[in-house]
């Protein structure tokens, strides 16, 4: 029996024996060290004295229910548990409960382990994980978005536009590209400076994003060119959509000069045969680009669909 008394007394965890009424019957040396009490101040006291006040009332109910259905509860539960030191400070703990009978009395062995260091390490790991996820999201954003306008960049546009073409083929729907170029943008930079030019690009980008449909792909093609990929538009509907974008840009206010755009459109009708998506996208972009230059050649600030070109215009200066 003496060896068991030594095990109880000197185990590295705090040990308590609790009776049916919730009073502390026994406590070991580590219980004194962990909670700051001399064990004489613990014996015959309610175990709730070692529980923070914000949990004490709930604990009384939990303890009463446990006694009616006593069972071993191992450490490592998902609930966060806290204990109360004599000085009023709280610290995280893990607890094991084990019912026992002694001389006909129902008792509970309570093992309390201080997990302050473990929880601090877990919290630090959680913070590091959160920070890594944030950095990963930032890197992904930088990799896929234009730094000035916040729109998709050219690399991301290619990826998403190819996915859209595959979707269009699977659904047998039209796919449309709108190539958008700011009119006389070089003159804006030359006359008002590049800072104003950047402000114009940002205003146009936000306007295009707001005027496009939620599922449209809006990207900065480079320089003063933008591109929009849309699914399910007929030729007539694509002209309406392009005109809506053109009018939205023309309505931008609080700039040092009026902003207008020329827009070229190309539509891919459903293809029955399987095709190489990247090649089809390149061809569609080329057609939209030709329609764009035709719009510029015909006076700018207008939209033009590739299918309605009768005589492809020569590229005009922007």
- Using one digit for the tens of pLDDT, what is the confidence trace for 13-25? 999 999 999 999 9
Helix or strand holding residue 57 (H, E): helix 53-68
The answer to whether residue 162 scores a pLDDT higher than 80 is yes
Copy the structure tokens of residue 139.
């890197």
Residue 274 in tokens: 């399987």
Residues 177 and 82 reside in one and the same domain:
no
Clarify whether residues 166 and 288 are in a common domain: yes
State the average pLDDT for the chain.
Answer: 91
User: Which of the following is catalytic: 32, 224, 225, 283?
Assistant: 224
Residue 224 is a catalytic residue: yes
Report pLDDT for 274. 77
Q: Residue 180 pLDDT > 60, yes or no?
A: yes
The answer to whether position 127 is within a domain reads no
Mean pLDDT score, 222-226 = 94
Q: Residue 175 has what pLDDT?
A: 96
CA 67 to chain CA centroid, nearest Å: 45
Q: Mean pLDDT, to the nearest integer, of 200-223?
A: 96
Query: 246-256: per-residue pLDDT in tens?
Result: 999 999 999 99
CATH number of the domain bearing residue 93: 3.30.450.20
pLDDT (mean) for 10-38: 94
Whether 135 maps to a domain, the answer reads no
Question: Is the pLDDT reported for residue 210 higher than 90?
Answer: yes
What's the rounded Cα separation, in Å, for the pair 38 and 15? 14
Is residue 310 predicted with pLDDT exceeding 90?
A: no
Looking at residue 38, what DSSP letter applies?
-
Q: Is residue 134 part of a domain?
A: no
Are residues 158 and 303 located together in one domain of the fold? yes
User: 175 with 69, same domain?
Assistant: no
Average pLDDT over residues 170-197: 95
Mean pLDDT, residues 52-61 taken together: 86
Query: Can you give the pLDDT at residue 1?
Result: 67
Host H or E run for residue 288:
helix 277-297
Write down the pLDDT at residue 116: 93
- The verdict on residue 130 lying in a domain is no
How many domains does the structure of the chain reveal? 2
In this structure, is residue 200 part of a structural domain?
yes
At 64-83, the pLDDT tens digits run: 888 888 787 887 777 889 99
110 with 166, same domain? no
Q: Give yes or no: residues 162 and 261 share one domain.
A: yes
pLDDT digits (tens, 9 = 90+) for 70-117: 787 887 777 889 999 999 999 999 999 999 888 888 899 999 999 999
Residue 150 has pLDDT above 90, yes or no: yes
Q: Are residues 263 and 303 in the same domain?
A: yes
pLDDT at 314: 46
Given pLDDT bands bounded at 50, 70 and 90, which one contains residue 192? very high
The domain containing residue 55 runs over which residues? 2-116
Residue 34 has pLDDT above 80, yes or no: yes
The CATH number of the domain where 170 resides is what?
3.30.70.270
Q: Confirm whether 128 is domain-assigned.
A: no
Does one domain contain both 98 and 163?
A: no
pTM (whole model) above 0.85 = no
84, 196: one domain = no
Cα dihedral 115, 116, 120, 121 sign = negative
Q: Is residue 15 part of a domain?
A: yes
Beta strand residue intervals within 63-121, DSSP E: 81-84, 90-102, 105-114
Q: How confident is the model at residue 312 (pLDDT cuts 50, 70, 90)?
A: very low
Q: Is the per-residue pLDDT at 123 higher than 80?
A: yes
Percent of the residues in the chain that have a pLDDT greater than 90, as a whole number: 76
User: Which residues have a Cβ under 8 Å from the Cβ of 31 and sit 6 or more positions away?
Assistant: 14, 15, 16, 37, 39, 42, 112
- 232-253 mean pLDDT: 96
Residues 26 and 172 placed together within one structural domain of the fold:
no
179 and 33 part of one domain: no
Task: Find all residues with CB under 8 Å of 282, minimum gap 6, and list them.
Answer: none
CB of 220 within 8 A of CB of 151?
Answer: yes
pLDDT for the residue numbered 59:
84
- On whether both 186 and 109 belong to a single domain, the answer is no
Dihedral of the CA atoms 100, 101, 107, 112 (nearest 10)?
-20
């Amino acid at each position: 029996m003496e060896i068991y008394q030594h095990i109880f007394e000197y185990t590295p965890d705090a040990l308590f024996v609790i009776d049916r009424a919730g009073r502390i019957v026994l406590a070991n040396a580590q219980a004194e060290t962990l909670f700051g009490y001399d064990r004489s101040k613990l014996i015959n006291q309610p175990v709730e004295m070692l529980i923070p006040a914000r949990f004490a009332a709930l604990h009384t109910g939990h303890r009463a229910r446990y006694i009616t259905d006593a069972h071993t509860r191992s450490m490592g539960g998902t609930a966060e548990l806290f204990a109360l030191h004599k000085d009023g400070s709280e610290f995280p703990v893990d607890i094991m409960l084990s019912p026992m009978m002694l001389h006909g009395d129902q008792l509970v062995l309570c093992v309390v382990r201080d997990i302050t260091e473990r929880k601090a390490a877990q919290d630090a790991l959680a913070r590091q994980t959160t920070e890594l996820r944030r950095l990963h999201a930032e890197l992904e954003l930088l990799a896929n978005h234009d730094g000035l306008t916040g729109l998709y960049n050219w690399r991301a546009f290619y990826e998403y536009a190819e996915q859209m073409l595959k979707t269009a083929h699977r659904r047998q729907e039209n796919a449309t590209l709108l190539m958008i170029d700011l009119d006389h943008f070089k003159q804006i930079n030359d006359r008002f400076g590049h800072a104003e030019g950047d402000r114009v690009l940002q205003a146009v980008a936000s306007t295009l994003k707001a005027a496009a449909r939620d599922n449209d792909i809006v990207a900065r093609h480079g320089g003063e060119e933008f591109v929009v990929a849309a699914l399910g538009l007929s030729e007539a509907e694509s002209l309406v959509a392009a005109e809506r974008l053109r009018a939205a840009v023309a309505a931008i206010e609080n700039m040092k000069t009026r902003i207008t755009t020329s827009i070229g459109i190309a539509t891919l009708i459903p293809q029955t045969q399987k095709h190489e998506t990247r090649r089809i996208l390149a061809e569609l972009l080329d057609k939209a680009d030709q329609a764009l230059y035709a719009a510029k050649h015909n006076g700018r600030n207008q939209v033009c669909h590739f299918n309605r070109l009768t005589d492809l215009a020569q590229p005009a200066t922007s």
